[in-house]
Chain A
Amino acid sequence: MARALLAAATVLTLLSAAAHSAAPDARKAAPFDLTGVWMNDNTLDERMKREGRTRQTEDELHGPTTATAPAAPPLTAQYLQIYQRMRADSALLAEGAASCEWPGMPTIMTYPYPFEILSTPGRITFLFEAESQVRRIFMDRKTHLDPDDLDPSYNGDSIGHWEGTALIIDTIGFNARRPVRGLPHSEQMHIVERITPVAKNTIKNEITITDAEAFTKPVVVHVEYSRRPDWRIREYSCAENNRDAPDASGQRAGAVVR
């Protein structure tokens, strides 16, 4: 039995070595070192700390947020209807009521929480503080999963490659549960990210979101991140103490003690 296991392990090791040598490009040193902890520079808290403020400006308190409806949502007729229904449904909830559903892509990339990037052979991995989420970017795969294996998911199936110092990440295979900048989308959503260095410790991400079924034009989101070598990523589970969760009548169930 032990001998059989040893033989099996040897075969697996050989197979694994063969698999790696089959994709030598994926093991080449990255042209730009992305490893480390990164933070979205434009979050309210990062901006306030940078400017030495403890008070929000009028604009921050009362200005537009991503929850504010764009004047002309770039949606097809069918998705404009879905959008209106979605807004009517959320109007039934108390203000501020929120479930613990994962943010999903691309929101997780613009969230006010840091993430850590790991670079290992054939793979780039994003470890997020928010919901302790993970994105696996397959650098050793040139194509997406077959449709039968492409389970609709929050963060999708991501494959990546380098163009000079730009990391290009192509992601498909989404579920349609989470809005994108307040807009509904379909499972056909396709996201291309172009992550490029701005300085040694600053990168920008140009996120282009297309959806042939839902969007009439691409939605493009720009975000910049800074490397934070001394930051720690904490554990985060929204289910721990979500007193803002809506109850059956849509009220923030645990928000006050009655």
Chain B
Amino acid sequence: MPFIKRFRVSRLVVGALTAFVVCASTSAPAHHSFSMFDREHSIVITGVVKEFQWTNPHTWIQVMVSDATGKLTEWSLEGGSPGILGRNGWKRSSLKAGEKITVEIYPLKDGTPGGSFIEITRSDGSKLHYHG
């Protein structure tokens, strides 16, 4: 009975040594860490939704942002998977192309036009949140 033997050994080891215990309260992040975002300083951008990518492993909101001269820049805003956002009240139809939105984001540290979205305010004032 190789299984029984192996099992007993492991139980003995557990008893004999102080185990290295980890509580899952520091829960594994899904897919990747958030270290590329500046989570000390959020910024707010306003623009028009080009595309809402309701996909795994992450959702993305592509937003066209105009500067003072009218030059457009495309921002890529990353969010949770459809499963995670769906359980936070989102639908695949939550954002539509052409819609004007204001978004609070944690911007990318490297200054490229992207970030992790926190809160979205639609033109009618209603809000969507990544979390909660």
CB neighbours of A66 from chain B (8 A): 22, 26-29
Is there an interface contact between A54 and B132, defined as CB atoms closer than 8 Å? Answer: yes
Is there an interface contact between A62 and B39, defined as CB atoms closer than 8 Å? Answer: yes
A-B contacts counted at CB < 8 A amount to 188
Q: Which residue of B lies closest to A258 (CB)?
A: B112
Chain A's interface: helix, strand, loop or mixed, by majority?
Answer: loop
Stretch at the interface among A2-10, A18-26, A118-126, A235-243: A235-243
Is there an interface contact between A48 and B31, defined as CB atoms closer than 8 Å? Answer: no
B68 near A: Cβ within 8 Å?
no
Shortest Cβ gap from B55 to chain A (Å): 4
CB neighbours of B82 from chain A (8 A): 234
Q: Which of B10, B29, B57, B60 has the most CB of A within 10 A?
A: B57
Shortest Cβ gap from A31 to chain B (Å): 20
Which single member of B13, B30, B108 contacts A255 (CB below 8 Å)?
B108
Shortest Cβ gap from B89 to chain A (Å): 9
Is there an interface contact between A243 and B132, defined as CB atoms closer than 8 Å? Answer: no
Interface size bucket, B side?
35 or more
Shortest Cβ gap from B132 to chain A (Å): 4
CB neighbours of A61 from chain B (8 A): 39
Number of residues on chain A facing chain B (CB within 8 A): 71
In chain B, residues 95-132, which have Cβ atoms closer than 8 Å to a Cβ of chain A? 108-109, 112-114, 118-119, 129, 131-132
B46 near A: Cβ within 8 Å?
no
CB neighbours of B78 from chain A (8 A): 243-244, 255
Is there an interface contact between A217 and B25, defined as CB atoms closer than 8 Å? Answer: no
CB neighbours of A103 from chain B (8 A): 28
Q: Which residue of A lies closest to B74 (CB)?
A: A257
Q: A144-B3, A172-B6, A218-B13 are in contact. Are A181 and B22 (CB under 8 A)?
A: yes
A159 near B: Cβ within 8 Å?
yes
Q: A53-B131, A74-B20, A241-B55 are in contact. Are A255 and B76 (CB under 8 A)?
A: yes
CB neighbours of B31 from chain A (8 A): 98, 238, 244
In chain A, residues 22-49, which have Cβ atoms closer than 8 Å to a Cβ of chain B? 40, 42-45, 48-49
A152 near B: Cβ within 8 Å?
no
In chain A, residues 72-109, which have Cβ atoms closer than 8 Å to a Cβ of chain B? 74, 94-98, 100, 103, 107
Q: Which residue of B lies closest to A129 (CB)?
A: B83
Which single member of A42, A45, A98, A257 contacts B32 (CB below 8 Å)?
A98
Q: Which of A42, A95, A130, A219 has the most CB of B within 10 A?
A: A95
In chain B, residues 1-58, which have Cβ atoms closer than 8 Å to a Cβ of chain A? 1-3, 6-7, 10-11, 13-14, 17-37, 39-40, 53, 55-58
A198 near B: Cβ within 8 Å?
no
Shortest Cβ gap from B50 to chain A (Å): 9
List of 3 A-B pairs having minimum Cβ-Cβ separation, nearest first? A98-B32, A54-B132, A241-B55
7 A-B Cβ contacts within 8 A? A192-B7, A208-B14, A210-B14, A217-B20, A218-B13, A236-B81, A242-B58
Q: A219-B22, A241-B58 are in contact. List 13 more A-B contacts (CB 8 A).
A: A45-B131, A52-B132, A66-B29, A95-B109, A221-B21, A222-B21, A222-B23, A236-B56, A236-B81, A240-B56, A243-B76, A244-B32, A255-B114
User: Which residues of B line the A interface, CB within 8 A?
Assistant: 1-3, 6-7, 10-11, 13-14, 17-37, 39-40, 53, 55-58, 60, 62, 74-76, 78, 80-84, 86-88, 108-109, 112-114, 118-119, 129, 131-132
